[in-house]
Structure 1
Amino acid sequence: MPLKLSLKPGEKFVLNGAVVQNGDRRGVLVLQNKASVLREKDIMQPEEVTSPARHVYFPVMLMYLDEAATPKAYDDFVLRLSEFMSAIRNPDVLADCVTISKHVLAREYYKALMGARKLVEYEDQRLGNAAGLQSGGDAD
């Protein structure tokens, strides 16, 4: 099933590890086969990893974007998810953590990433942070 991306002028995204930028007009990109695609708004830079939920999100993002990074990123993910889960008492959030872990084990990294996004949003809401990851997901 093809994936259709509607791109804003100048919008960047990562496609199988390559950073691609749309031109000066709106554009549409149709991917005919499976590929790792992540929009600019979903890409977290290392300096943005400043909270426990972001420490979960970041290694999942690395696994999704770069299979070669998976062994080290997986170890970091396990450590950070365990730490996060030990600090959380909300049963719904804990269930989300289990689901994220299952997706990672199944190598369904995009699904795991969108679950990790929910952790960041939960954390931002609890801490009153206005700046978080933008909502939405458009790939996979």
Structure 2
Amino acid sequence: MPLKLSLKPGEKFVLNGAVVQNGDRRGVLILQNKASVLREKDIMQVEDVKTPATRIYFPVMMMYLDESAAPKVYDEFTRRLTEFMSATRNPDILAECVAASRHVMAREYYKALMSARKLVDYEEQLSNVASGVQDRGDAG
């Protein structure tokens, strides 16, 4: 099944390890066969890896973008996932951790990346709640 990418002007994405940038107009690409594609918004730079969830996301992203790198980053992924799982009691998030692990084991790296993205989003929600509570406490 083809993958259709609708691109904004100037939007970047990675296609099989190559960084590609759209021109100055909206564009549409249709990929006819399997390829590793990651949009700019889903690409994490190493300097952005600062939290427990991003330490899971980043190695999964590396496995997805370059499957030959999987053996190099797999141990980091499992160590960070184990740490994350021991620090949370949320059953939905624990289920996402298990899903990410299963997908990695099956070499379904894009699916694993989507599970890892949910962990990052969850962590950001917790951070926003904590900072919101702190902000309200400071205001009073």
The TM-score, its normalising length taken from structure 1, stands at: 0.91
User: What residue number does 2:51 align with?
Assistant: 51
Counterpart of 2:15, as a letter, is L
Residues in 2 aligned to 1:105 and 1:60: alpha-carbon distance in whole angstroms: 11
Instruction: Kindly name which structure, 1 or 2, has the bigger radius of gyration based on alpha carbons.
Output: 2
For 2:35, the equivalent position in structure 1 comes to 35
* Alpha-carbon distance in structure 2 between the residues aligned to 1:69 and 1:77: 12
Q: What are the equivalent positions in structure 2 for 1:3-42 lying under 5 Å apart? A: 3-42=3-42
Q: CA deviation at 1:87?
A: 0.4
Give 1:132's aligned residue.
none
Q: Please identify which structure carries the higher helix content.
A: 2
Counterpart code for 1:110: Y
Structure 2 CA distance, aligned partners of 1:85 and 1:9? Answer: 39
Identity %: 77
Match of 2:88 in 1: 88
Q: Deviations over 1:45-82 (max 9, x none)?
A: 00000100000000000000011211011111001000
Aligned residues between the structures: 129
After TM superposition, what 4+ stretches of structure 1 lie above 3 angstroms from structure 2?
none
CA distance in 2, matches of 1:113, 1:62: 10
CA RMSD between the two structures: 0.8
Deviation at 1:38, TM superposition (A): 0.1
Gaps of 5+ in 2: 130-140
Q: Scaled by the length of structure 2, what TM-score is found? A: 0.91
Could you say which structure has the greater relative contact order, defined with CA pairs below 8 angstroms and 6 or more residues apart? 1
